[in-house]
Amino acid sequence: MKYLIKNGRCIDPANNLDAVADLLLSDGKIENIGKKIPSPKGAQTIDAQGMIVAPGFVDMHVHLRTPGREDVETLESGSRAALKGGYTSVLMMPNTDPAVDTPEMARGLKEQAHKESVVHAYVSGAVTKGRQGAQLTDIAGLKAAGALAVTDDGCCVADDGIFRKALRESARAGLLLIDHCEDSKISGKGVMNESFMSTKLGMRGMPRQAEYEMVRRDIEYARGLDALVHIAHVSCKESCDLIRKAKKAGVRVTAEAAPHHFTLTDEACANYDTRTKMNPPLRADYDVKAIKEALADGTLDAIATDHAPHGLHDKYVEFDAASFGVIGLETALSISVMELVNKGVLDWPRLIELLSSAPAKILGIPAGTLSKGAPADVTVLDPKAELLYTAEEVASRSKNSPFIDWKLTGLAMEVFVSGKRLVSGGQLV
Amino acid sequence: MNWNRKDLIGLEYLSAAEIEHILAATDSFKQVTTRSIKKVPTLRGKTVANLFFEPSTRTSASFELAAKRLSCDVLTLNIATSSVKKGETLVDTARNIEAMEVDTLIVRHGAAGAPAMLSRAVKACVINAGDGWHEHPTQGLLDMYTLRSRLGDIKGLRVSIIGDIAHSRVARSNIWGLTKLGAQVTVCAPPVLLPVGIEKFGVKITTDLDEAIAGADAINVLRMQFERDCAQAFPSRTEYFRKYGVTQERLQKAKHDIVVMHPGPMNRGIEMSSEVADGPNSVILEQVTNGVAVRMAVIYLTATAKEASL
């Protein structure tokens, strides 16, 4: 099937393109991009006037809970949630049950994803066996099995010695190392940001030092090594400052932020609503501001959702007892449009870069561009379309979003994965 | 004014007028509790369940007596050892109790926010009997009631709260209630037991006990939980007593009629010497007496608010 997407504002940061143009998709590839492309015989034409035509989005941080917790998300349901949010590629975190910590498991999950996921779902592997932080996995083997990164996400690689070995090993294998920066000796049993709010609510706080002291360590250990370190879900100003400085000094470090961290503060925890409980926690106003600045100035490379589905019985309990994490695939685009573009923090090309070409480049995948010949992963979004995001709207198997009942602006209307039209008119096909 | 809340979750959420309203209602119940026949038929036929997910003697007894003196039927459950361990959620436990047509749930829980969560999950009245480090509103109310009966109007009083502010729900309820009624509150603790952001509560902060006592109209001395939260912060009990223990010598520098309070249970020789605890300035047992009347007022007001909303 051929599709001709006409008169959209085509934004392709990888090629420095931002112009009204037509885009022709054919046989799973981008066949042509340019002005007034004549409609080939049999092609379906899509009028994209007033819309933005972008490379399909890439989320380098999702939990699809497979294997082990298919009751809260499956490859199918999670990938449908991704599609609805305009994503065509995702990187699955390995903190499943059991953890993806062997090449065999990585290979098996990759094959399963190929069958069950409706987007490109890539595999990552654990840094340490069982994510226990004690013994390295076969990092080179994981790479050979198709893993795009190693990470113990959900946990930090806390032991300095192990982390140093992991960095050298992943550098040797040429594989990205993603770290969840948290010194659990500092965060302890905390359940929210340590602040006036945690004192007011009488809850144990997670001091910001728990994050940024680990960011500092990761940067120091990466300095001078040819390693690729990526800092997951940056939540505080100090981390942004450290990463900015490190990049200036030439350290090979990249980083991401999640939409909830540049939208909400710990004030959102006021009613003990467990949909505001995540790790790292929601922080202060000045952190939100710092993350926005860091996204705009290139300190932070990518927007990643940290999509973390949890069932009602994991969340509808005391705040102390609730699981950490929120879903985010379906809301990331709208929240980014509302908080970043519509508030003048950054422009459309930068947002598209943060959502597509930048994470694609970090992961080294053939995505994130509208170049001729590239895979036809394309998202057409309406920057003005609105949606009341009710619990019934949620495509994920879990509904633990802090944005339930928000009026969202900016929606994916058409999504193509390898040239297949899987979202049409804003609806999953 | 009209009382229209079916729940009491914390003093943070009440207006000064609402707090005054509870204290005024307490007056009439106080009269009841000091008669030889200590019972009124006000809430006959209502059922109150004490759901204590954390051990307590005094608060549990006080709520039970308060309910009984209002002629309620009372069920007291210590749940720390029963169904929770079998995997039932808090909300399920509460809904099961409510399904037996219980009108009021009095909830003590180790997790902050548990009563707030239940108040949204059930139709029954929910009264917070202490949740984590968050609030213990009836304790705050009975402290204020006691202060008022001793010293008159709370407005303008200088009250110092001494001890483990960081881990104390009593401190938080006192701070909210007293500041709303116009008292000047000082908190006094070793630096490690002052929580982050405490300055935003509109209180004065000191780490010097003599400073906290000087000029104060009243002091409220908190329990030190060496067995739990304070071990890392302040390893030695004798060292704590030397620096933060309230003694007769220290009180000699205070106003002669300074009111000394303690929410109990008291560690004699750690927070306070026995001479002070049993001395003329101490109102500790009066607090306990007033506690029953305050809780009668709260059970009564919330129950009638619920009735009115039906």
Q: Rounded to whole angstroms, how far apart are CA atoms B306 and B310?
A: 7
Alpha carbons within 13 A on the beta-carbon side of A424 = 9
Judged against a pLDDT cut of 60, whether residue B76 lies above it is answered with yes
- For the domain spanning A55-363, the CATH number is 3.20.20.140
**Chain B positions in Cβ-Cβ contact with residue A198 (cut-off 8 Å):** 196-197
Q: Rounded to whole angstroms, how far apart are CA atoms A366 and A204?
A: 44
Contact A199 B197 (CB under 8 A): yes
Report the residue of chain B nearest A200, measured CA to CA: B134
Q: How far is B87 from chain A (nearest CA, A)?
A: 11
* Partner-chain residue, chosen from A205, A319, A321, that has the shortest CB–CB distance to B196: A205
Residues in contact with B96: Cβ distance below 8 Å, sequence separation at least 6, in sequence order: B88
CB contact at 8 A, A215 and A242: yes
Q: Is-catalytic flag, A306? A: yes
* Partner-chain residue, chosen from A198, A271, A318, that has the shortest CB–CB distance to B111: A318
Report DSSP state, residue A355: I
Strands A420-424 and A427-428: antiparallel
Interface test with B, best of A283, A318, A319, A320 (most B CBs within 10 A): A318
Q: Which residue has the tokens 């204020």?
A: B144
Contact B89 A317 (CB under 8 A): yes
Report the residue of chain B nearest A205, measured CA to CA: B196
Q: How far is CA A81 from CA A148, B139, B241, in A?
A: 22, 48, 59
Report DSSP state, residue A98: S
Q: Rounded to whole angstroms, how far apart are CA atoms A90 and B95?
A: 41
Of chain B residues 133-162, which have a CB less than 8 A from chain A? 133-135
Phi/psi of residue B244, nearest 5 degrees: -125, 0
* Partner-chain residue, chosen from A198, A272, A320, that has the shortest CB–CB distance to B196: A198
For residue A59, the SS3 value is strand
pLDDT given for residue B265 in this prediction: 92
For residue A207, the SS3 value is coil
pLDDT given for residue B231 in this prediction: 64
CB contact at 8 A, B172 and B139: no
* Partner-chain residue, chosen from A195, A202, A316, that has the shortest CB–CB distance to B134: A202
Residues in contact with B216: Cβ distance below 8 Å, sequence separation at least 6, in sequence order: B158, B159, B160, B186, B254, B255, B258
Judged against a pLDDT cut of 70, whether residue B43 lies above it is answered with yes
Q: Which residue has the tokens 């249970």?
A: B265
Q: How far is CA A210 from CA A193, A214, B109, B276, in A?
A: 10, 7, 28, 43
For residue A389, the SS3 value is strand
CB contact at 8 A, A98 and A69: no
Mean residue pLDDT across chain A: 97
Report the residue of chain B nearest A197, measured CA to CA: B197
Judged against a pLDDT cut of 60, whether residue B84 lies above it is answered with no
Strands B104-109 and B184-188: unpaired
pLDDT digits (tens, 9 = 90+) for A53-103: 999 999 999 999 999 999 999 999 999 999 999 999 999 999 999 999 999
Interface test with A, best of B11, B84, B85, B89 (most A CBs within 10 A): B89
Q: Which residue has the tokens 């409510």?
A: B98
Contact A196 B134 (CB under 8 A): no
The residues with which A151 forms a beta bridge, in sequence order, are: A178
Closest by CA to A379, choosing from A117, A80, A34, A53, is A53
* Partner-chain residue, chosen from B89, B197, B200, that has the shortest CB–CB distance to A313: B89
Alpha carbons within 13 A on the beta-carbon side of A191 = 25
Q: Rounded to whole angstroms, how far apart are CA atoms A215 and A75?
A: 31
pLDDT digits (tens, 9 = 90+) for B177-235: 999 999 999 999 999 999 999 999 999 999 999 999 999 999 999 999 876 666 666 77
Closest by CA to B130, choosing from B265, B267, B273, is B265
Residues in contact with A16: Cβ distance below 8 Å, sequence separation at least 6, in sequence order: none
Residues in contact with B52: Cβ distance below 8 Å, sequence separation at least 6, in sequence order: B60, B76, B77, B78, B79, B80, B108, B129
Domain boundaries, chain A: 3-53+374-428, 55-363
Judged against a pLDDT cut of 90, whether residue B306 lies above it is answered with no
Q: How far is A379 from chain B (nearest CA, A)?
A: 40
In the set A306, A314, A320, A382, the catalytic residue is A306
pLDDT digits (tens, 9 = 90+) for B230-280: 666 677 888 999 999 999 999 999 999 999 999 999 999 999 999 999 999
Judged against a pLDDT cut of 90, whether residue B134 lies above it is answered with yes
Report DSSP state, residue A119: S
Judged against a pLDDT cut of 90, whether residue A216 lies above it is answered with yes
Judged against a pLDDT cut of 60, whether residue B155 lies above it is answered with yes
Per-residue tokens: B291: 């506690």
Per-residue tokens: A314: 């994991």
Q: Rounded to whole angstroms, how far apart are CA atoms A129 and A113?
A: 22
Interface test with B, best of A195, A198, A204, A272 (most B CBs within 10 A): A272
Report how far apart the first and last C-alpha atoms of chain A are (Å, whole number). Answer: 15
Contact B90 A313 (CB under 8 A): no
pLDDT digits (tens, 9 = 90+) for A337-359: 999 999 999 999 999 999 999 99
Q: Judge whether B192 is closer than 8 Å to chain A, CB to CB.
A: no
Closest by CA to B47, choosing from B153, B117, B118, B125, is B125
Question: Interior CA angle at B40 toward B37 and B45, to 5°?
Answer: 135
Contact A316 B196 (CB under 8 A): no
pLDDT given for residue B229 in this prediction: 65
pLDDT given for residue B291 in this prediction: 98
Interface test with A, best of B79, B107, B108, B133 (most A CBs within 10 A): B133
Contact B113 A319 (CB under 8 A): yes
Q: Rounded to whole angstroms, how far apart are CA atoms B219 and B80?
A: 33
* Partner-chain residue, chosen from A271, A313, A316, that has the shortest CB–CB distance to B116: A271
Contact A196 B197 (CB under 8 A): yes
- List, edge to edge, every strand of the sheet that includes B184-188: B204-206, B184-188, B158-162, B218-221, B259-261
Residue B268: count other Cβ atoms within 10 Å of its Cβ: 14
Helix, strand and coil percent figures for chain B, each rounded to 5 = 45, 15, 40
CB contact at 8 A, A22 and A37: yes
Contact B111 A321 (CB under 8 A): yes
pLDDT given for residue A107 in this prediction: 98
Contact B132 A203 (CB under 8 A): yes
CB pairs under 8 A between A and B: 63
What single letter denotes the amino acid at residue B127? I
Judged against a pLDDT cut of 90, whether residue B160 lies above it is answered with yes
Q: Rounded to whole angstroms, how far apart are CA atoms A241 and A244?
A: 5
**Chain B positions in Cβ-Cβ contact with residue A276 (cut-off 8 Å):** none
Q: Judge whether B80 is closer than 8 Å to chain A, CB to CB.
A: no
For residue A422, the SS3 value is strand
**Chain B positions in Cβ-Cβ contact with residue A321 (cut-off 8 Å):** 111
| Superfamily of chain region A3-53+374-428 | Urease, subunit C, domain 1 (2.30.40.10)
- List, edge to edge, every strand of the sheet that includes A57-62: A57-62, A87-92, A120-123
Contact A320 B198 (CB under 8 A): no
Of chain B residues 10-39, which have a CB less than 8 A from chain A? 12
Measured torsion, CA atoms of residues A166, A302, A62, A411, in degrees rounded to the nearest 10: -170
pLDDT digits (tens, 9 = 90+) for A109-144: 999 999 999 999 999 999 999 999 999 999 999 999
* Partner-chain residue, chosen from A195, A197, A318, that has the shortest CB–CB distance to B113: A318
